[in-house]
Amino acid sequence: MKLTLKSCTALVALFSFATQTIAAEPLKQLGKGEGALSIVAWAGYIERGETDKAYDWVTKFEEETGCKVSVKTAATSDEMVALMNEGGFDLVTASGDASLRLVAGKRVQPINTALIPSWSTIDERLQNAPWHTVGDVHYGTPYVWGPNVLMYNTDAFGDKAPTSWNVVFEEMTLPDGKSNKGRVQAYDGPIYVADAALYLMKHKPELGIKDPYELNEDQYKAALELLRGQRKLVGRYWHDAMIQIDDFKNEGVVASGSWPFQVNMMKAEKAKIASTFPEEGTTGWADTTMLHVDSEHPNCAYLWMEHSLSPKVQGDVSAWFGTVPSVPTACKGNELLTDEGCAANGYDDFAKISFWKTPVSKCASQGECVPYHRWVSDYIGVIGGR
């Protein structure tokens, strides 16, 4: 999704909401499936075997329920929010920087966990997570989660993995003897401001940043200054996973924050690519399947939420995308994920990940913080060289 002044204005309006929301009544009982289901999802989240026949968790669902699944792929959280605002969809796989916006904007409805038999199997770290739970009311079903890793070209870095995010934030000569200028990328969503803040937490502790999503004016200014310096290094800002893959393969890009999905795709093609978890830690995402307030197919939606929690689906999704299942039992016995997959994808690093969440003006760590609509407008300026 291109960030424009028009979209910025819309997001500013969206964030002029009251902080308290009144929960609508969730569905009381399930009926027969309506025959269709539309989902807004991240790339690679809803697969039916078209890319690789081994990865298909849609066909069986359709056969068993009669609910025909259609998918609209979104490249950023802002695009997901915009699509849900437009309506016409049943579900969205929302990350934490979108989920509470959807709740506050009354675009999603509470769910009745009693209608989801597998709810009790969800990782306890996620069952009541703040990105989908408001006032003890659940607004979605956890899907999968993971870190934003540092992806790098092994020819450029040699046998030793980079240990810090400085390779994308500061101009330097890389191990291959060439400058990193023009050879690194950054994510083009405003939530990337948090990546700069996370870097500053270690390298400028005097700023006193406690949470990369809760920044006062001075902390926020420092993050923007770092990003403006990075702008001189970035060849292209990315949001489309497949375009980033092409840039690494054909355009000389050698380092960037990325998703495990891109890493796995390129490794499968024997590309000289690896990823690492830098010393500063990472940002990350814990995604929630959320039900549109005006869903036309709520029964199919509930059937899908239950289906999405099966160990088989959880394991297959995590193997395909490089995520961690929200259902721990998926970590054992899945042929595609293997018994080592959860550990490799970061199951034990949960506490080290700063999960995406929407910045708000009233924040827990220091009272007053810079709200998200400023992140949006200012990051447009950064990308535009201002």
Residues 139 and 117: beta-carbon distance below 8 Å: no
Give pLDDT tens digits for 57-84.
999 999 999 999 999 999 889 999 999 9
Percentage, residues of the chain above pLDDT 90: 85
CATH number for the domain running over 5-146+285-355: 3.40.190.10
Q: Which two tokens stand for residue 374?
A: 């400023």
**Mean pLDDT, range 44-61, rounded to an integer:** 96
Q: Output helix, strand, coil percentages for the chain, rounded to the nearest 5.
A: 40, 20, 40
Residue ranges matching CATH 3.40.190.10 in the chain: 5-146+285-355, 148-283+359-383
**Mean pLDDT, range 48-64, rounded to an integer:** 96
pTM of the predicted model, to two decimals? 0.86
Q: Give 379's contacts (C-beta < 8 A, 6+ positions apart).
A: 3, 189, 190, 192, 193, 227
Fold of 148-283+359-383: D-Maltodextrin-Binding Protein; domain 2 (3.40.190)
Residues 105 and 17: beta-carbon distance below 8 Å: yes
Q: Are strands 149-153 and 255-258 parallel, antiparallel or unpaired?
A: antiparallel
**Mean pLDDT, range 303-328, rounded to an integer:** 97
Backbone angles phi, psi at 334, to 5 degrees: -95, 120
Residues 332 and 325: beta-carbon distance below 8 Å: no
Which amino acid is it at 273?
I
Confidence bin at 23 (pLDDT 50/70/90): low
Ramachandran quadrant class, 87 (left: phi over 0; alpha: psi -120 to 50; beta: rest):
left
Confidence bin at 24 (pLDDT 50/70/90): low
Among residues 385, 352, 374, 381, which one has the least CA distance to residue 191? 374
**Mean pLDDT, range 245-256, rounded to an integer:** 97
**Mean pLDDT, range 288-316, rounded to an integer:** 98
Give pLDDT tens digits for 257-278.
999 889 988 998 999 999 999 9
Return mean pLDDT, the chain: 92
**If 0-12 CB within 10 Å is exposed, 13-18 middle and 19+ buried, where does residue 293 land?**
middle
Give pLDDT tens digits for 136-162.
999 999 999 999 999 999 999 998 999
Q: Is the pLDDT of residue 16 over 60?
A: no
Task: Give the angle subtended at the CA of 162 by the CAs of 156 and 166, to the nearest 5°.
Answer: 105
